[in-house]
Structure 1
Amino acid sequence: MSTDVKRLITVLAALLLAALTTATARAADGDGDGPSAGQRIASALRTSPVYVNDAYTDAVPPSRQRQLADRIRRTGLPIKVVLTPLTKGDAFDGDSEVLAGIVRDRFPDQRELIVITTDSDFPDSLEGYEWPTDTHQARDAVAATGFLDEMRNAGLADLTAKAVDLVAEGKGRQRYEEAMKELDGSAAPDAQASGSPASESASDGTGGWWLWSLIAVPALVLTALATRALVRSRVRKAAPAIPQLVFAAARAADEAQLRRRAEAEVLALGEATQAADVTTTPGLQHVLDAYAAAGRVLDGARGVPDLAGALALAQEGRDALAGTPGLPLCFFNPLHGRAALRTGWRPLGRRDRLDVAVCQDCADALRDRRAPEVLTARAGDGRTVPYFELPAGRSVWAATGYGSLASLLDGFNSRSSKAR
């Protein structure tokens, strides 16, 4: 197949995906429209591991929700299911990864968590996320579900039940690869063979157009699925080492979306602080200080590094409120979420090693001698550099590593005192 033909197929697939996604977004009832959407979902998940938005109750009625909850409990795994419409501009900006991250942040005392959500791109598909590591291969297991032959015409309830089963099986990667092989095998259409009824009908001009439509539309859908599967499989493969330290943070939300998320996180912390019992919360003063600092950072935020700082301070406040301090956000890019482990790392051009908290993806990159994906900031001369390369005296984030190198709150308060 020529390069031009491949590009044409990709463009057609992208247009089809955009049309499907737009139709789904219009059908959404705006459950996430508001800063407390994540809190409402989390509150529901504390009583049942399954949350279903009203828009999906026909597909997953209460009886099926109870069955799913029982199924999850039998696995013994920390699985949470969130089925809700995702629409561009809602509290999650239509992004399943943002939704999963907010759910994760609402359970700071739960070290291990698996979240199954509705897909950002396909309303009848699912996405899987797992913390702190991919022990149960949840992402691949959930992704494989939608490509199984037995799930081809399955409803959302059956699809979710199968996803739970595959996660519990713990062979998600194998299942995903098998599904991709089957998809590759079925993606070679033979409808254009010289002796096929389709080609004969098209050639004699009788009914050829409607028959071509019947063939072309499913073929485009299949191409779209294959393209999406190919992208996913390529993302899962380790990228080759390249001689740049700075990688664009592809998974980071744009600044406007990030600001909305930070506002929601800080607001949620304030609400939780007001509801806290002074007698049973020994770290309440720390919580109040973190909340105040996060609010000040958010009000004066001048870019992504500051917004990430507001998120980090809000996380520190939630940890203090729960009384179970955990690792801070990822040193290399706090937008990756909470760190999974601490490791030694030697900055380029330096002899000393730093003890930093990193997410699993960044830990894997260091292990494989690849440059981790880092958060960047603007240097004084206009260059874009890793935020931690800024002078510590100029950036509280560089000085503290968002909590990896020093207490984020202490660093912020110390800098504020000097400023006064």
Structure 2
Amino acid sequence: MSTEVKRLTTVLAALLLTALTTTTSPARAADGDAPSAGQRIASALRTSPVYVDEAYADAVPPARQRELARQISRTGLPIKVVLMPLTKGDAFDGASDVLAGTVRDRLPDQRELILITTDGDFPDSLTGDEWPADTHQTRDAVAAAGLLDETRDAGLADLTAKAVELVAEGKGTQRYEEATKDLDDDTRRREERAEGRAEERAESASGGPVWWLLIGVPVLTLTALATRSAIRSRKPAPATLAVAQLVFATARAADEAELRRRTEAEVLALGEATRAAEVSTTPGLQHALDAYAAAGTVLDEARGLPDLAGVLALAQEGRDALAGDDDAALPLCFFNPLHGRAALRTGWRPLGRRDRLDLAVCQECADALRDRRAPEVLTDTDEDGRTVPYFELPAERSVWAATGYGSLEAPLAGINSRRVRAR
């Protein structure tokens, strides 16, 4: 079997296993005691610098894993390797940077770290990251490893070994420039040939295509606008409504995936900020560390937009603590924390209640209240499966309803008080 066929077989097997894993993920998510993917990888890396997912066990068998571990040990560098399939919708949303950041965040005691992982965009490629700075030119070194003639047909184990070698050499940028020089020359020559052929075709057409662009495109545009207007004027049929519901559901899932990536980035950024802070000059450091730990826990257990918004609220509380603004700064918008930090405080009386609440709201929601319009609210699901404003859930069931994401009580204090009552 050729190397290319073996590589293709490995990738297909990885994708199949990931699909099966994704299909069964809801059952695992229901188990609150199950560790997250990031936690499992970090725990494995504490005993060995090489983590290989089962999907890549044939490409990088245990014997090769031990060889890589010995090679890394000889370098004397804090190198860790994570080889696993990455696909859209998995625990890291198919993004190698999210995988790297999550693993880094789960190894807080390792200040210096060089991480080599599989590339989310190209399954048979690698990418590299280094903290706290790219001292060993890791990113370029790992990229160069896949561009060399000697690794053109290499398997994943050999490619990883070459990446470790180039990182240890410390000349990653030079190696990358050397490896891409010929590629740049070839690309330039192909572009020049393509431009020449395009000019020849334009001249032989005697201006015909140009006149078509000047006349045909505006006509088609007007036709499309007229068609869209006609479609909008019609009453949607039941099938159309079903499609619309599917579109909205898909959009919400996409929003949740994007928000999860954003919250992961926020937590990672807060972790870096706490590590860089000086104890003597940062009175709120412990508060920030507590908020950081809570944000990581909520992120690992997040089941939807309300929990992810809670991660943002905790990250904001942590940043305010580092800046010394934890008492004066406004929290996120009460009605929808995804609107960002509140702009002002205002009174609001919930429907069916006589008391008024003092809430922090964004300018958009403040304008809606002033104009007697309903502000855009973040929703959650109640016990009957209905979609309701998150703050209408019982406070004992939702920490976000109890705290208002900081308007009613600091998110961290709300979480801590629940922990105390649970003991």
Normalising by structure 2, we get a TM-score of 0.47
More helix by share: 2
TM-score by length of 1: 0.48
Larger Rg, first or second structure (1 or 2): 2
More relative contact order in 1 or in 2 (CA 8 Å, sep 6+)?
1
